[in-house]
Structure 1
């Protein structure tokens, strides 16, 4: 079997979710159906919920789905990063712990908290609970979630296929997810990682679900705001770009510059360090990619953005706050005319 990666430009995933808002679905599209609800409960560390706002943010979708007569909701989420479970393995080759439960990253605390919230909102009978499965695929899981109710699959990132760099493995895992969940409708209620359409439970799964594929309430709202901004920007516009990975932000940043949507970019967080490094500033104690190839890619991307900003007359300013490294604490920089960063 030929190995391909999601970086292969010849491979086109189907869209991770249609832009149709869930509120636009006719009741008949949900009544007596099984719904695959993709959420973002990446909030458990060391077995404890660090913040339940993401749980509460999904209640609107769950309420709407239940009110429209759905039989079963299968909630699907990741928690943690791939390297938390598989270290340097970028595919399933050589992995002997696929599917192993890592208690500190289990979604069991989420199931308990979601049960409390849904009962408090009178969306769940007192004698029912959100049932969490012991895995996210397989016959045992399929048997558990075959009934009516609200179910939460265990962390999909415990399975290598969710984020493998081998697209054949990703597609196979997506097929297994569908065979296990047997859902008719796909709802994307995860605006945080909705852009990661190559992950099995976000993009490829939609190839196997024959029914409607829609955006949840929060994602719909974000799409509406972004669409309005891209079509009718009210200048002057300042865009704030943050995060830890330049590679994930470079395309949107380039588009904002090239299509002249912004007058100024404010770069915050870890992605600012590569911008400083390419200008010769000492950021050795700051957070950069550990992988040399990824670090080199981040520096190339930073250089591209700086050159584009200079060419299109876009100002770039930024501020970094890091409590871990003295040399990065309250470090501020500004790109003046000529594309030079002044730290």
Structure 2
């Protein structure tokens, strides 16, 4: 890795360390309802605290569009953050300027301060050099630990890295190392599982994957578009019929790259999208015209499990069916459990993330058994698409 990490950050006792984190957590009735993103920053913050640095957290919250919006103040999450970090977190009512500077000046080594929502400033999302310069005045060192915000070229994720010595935090480092194993320099054979509703949202992703993986499993509503492009009946299923030509182009690229595309060979069809709706499993070629395809069948799952068993690397984005409702979660659950078992056996490196993927793996009970599960939605997807992430590029350029 050409990016500097905390291993390269020496003698920081008493130094002001600006740490960009993603603690854009969900709220319910004024309380934090899921602390997962807070928990992800603990390794970096704890290490800096132990080294007696003055830890100054920069973060966004919601979409205030450059205006101060009371409901999007980070002040409301301070109690939960203090609990997760195991120490008092002080709060500054701005992320730049005199008030923030005064609170930081009062810090001692090992203290933690959370600055107000960076997006209260219009210059944040514009990557304004003037705002990045103001932020830089508050610190001596910059650490980015927010991979999930790395696909945004914002002042706190991109511009600031050019104003101070820049390093990757532990979560950022772990994410980048896992992703390198997944697609950067993976051990072959590589299998990718891509699911979800629409092909139109994942054209760049599919185009990138067919050139890099040995087997590409396409599931969910996306698979219906490919099946229809092959001339098969998909009934009332979710399907983008207007993308038939695009689907055929992707299949042609895969064939040229010697990438096997795996589509359902049998499907679970139902009368409607509802829990325990009357359903049957039929060969894909026999899907009826008056029903919906809501999951892949057992023969398809067996085919996927066979490819997983022979693979060395797996990247996963999106469920194989309507996993939110039973019994249309079976293909996703069984494939996920097969991947988890191979990972635990030491034969597979498994990297997953994006969209509904984390929820699907949690539903399958295997989220802790994969090599790495990314909580970064858009950033993970753009990485899978082969795009350079501005926040990562900034660390590479300015480390």
Superposition deviation, residue 43 in structure 1: 0.7
Query: Quick one: distance in 2 between partners of 1:208 and 1:244?
Result: 42
Match of 1:191 in 2: 147
Which sections of structure 2, spanning at least 5 residues, go unmatched? Answer: 268-272, 275-290, 301-320, 322-399
2:175 aligned to 222, 243, 254, which one?
Answer: 222
Match 1:177 to one of 118, 135, 139: 135
RMSD of the TM alignment (CA)? 4.3
Residues of 2 paired with 1:245 and 1:31: CA distance? 50
- Assess if the C-alpha contact under 8 Å between 2:226 and 2:244 holds in 1: no
Q: Secondary structure at the match of 2:34?
A: coil
Q: In 1, are the aligned partners of 2:27 and 2:33 still within 8 Å (CA)?
A: yes
Q: 1:153 aligns with which of 115, 120, 136?
A: 115
Correspondence for 1:115: 82
Pair 1:114–1:208, CA change in 2 (3 A) = same
- Give per-residue Cα distances to partners, 1:215-253, cap 9 Å, x unaligned: 122221222222234465333322245789989966565
CA contact (8 A) 2:223 2:263 kept: no
Q: Aligned-pair distance for 1:328?
A: 8.9
- Cα displacement (A) at 1:282: 9.9
The 5 A counterparts of 1:71-220 are 72-80=54-62, 82=63, 85-86=64-65, 98-103=66-71, 105-119=72-86, 124=87, 129-148=88-107, 149-164=111-126, 170-179=128-137, 182-194=138-150, 196-209=151-164, 211=165, 213-220=166-173
- Per-residue CA distance 1:75-133 (angstroms, 9 max, x = gap): 111222x3xx34xxxxxxxxxxx331231x332232111222333xxxx3xxxx21122
Q: Distance in 1 between matches of 2:159 and 2:57?
A: 17
CA contact (8 A) 1:239 1:264 kept: yes
1:292-311 superposed matches below 5 A: 308-311=253-256
Provide the residue aligned with 1:51 in structure 2: 34
Is the CA contact (8 Å cut-off) linking 2:43 and 2:170 kept in structure 1?
A: yes
Shift of 1:267: 6.1
Q: 1:332 to 1:116 in 2, by over 3 A?
A: same
Look up the match of 1:40. 22
* CA distance 1:53–1:35, change in 2 (3 Å): same
Q: Is the 8 A contact 2:219 2:296 kept in 1?
A: no
What displacement does 1:61 show? 0.9
Q: Which runs of 5+ in 1 are unaligned?
A: 1-16, 87-97, 289-295, 320-324, 335-342
Contact 2:226 2:248 (C-alpha < 8 Å) held by counterparts: no
Aligned twin of 1:20 = 4
- The separation in 1 between residues aligned to 2:198 and 2:56, in whole angstroms, is 31
Provide the secondary structure at the position in 2 that maps to 1:60: helix
Conservation of the 8 A alpha-carbon contact between 1:240 and 1:267: yes
Offset, 1:192? 2.1
Q: Aligned partners of 2:113, 2:16: CA distance in 1, in Å?
A: 11
Mapped contact 2:228–2:244 kept (Cα < 8 A): yes
Q: What secondary structure, in the 3-state scheme, does the structure 1 residue paired with 2:19 have?
A: strand
Greater C-alpha radius of gyration: 2
Which residue number in structure 2 is paired with residue 4 of structure 1?
A: none
Q: SS at 2:105's partner residue? A: coil
Name the structure 2 match of 1:264: 216
When normalised by structure 1's length, the TM-score is: 0.62
Contact 2:25 2:32 in 1 (8 A): yes
Provide the residue aligned with 1:66 in structure 2. 49
Q: Provide Cα deviations, 1:266-325, integer angstroms capped at 9, x if missing partner.
A: 4669xx599679969899999x9xxxxxxx9x9999897566335434316599xxxxx8
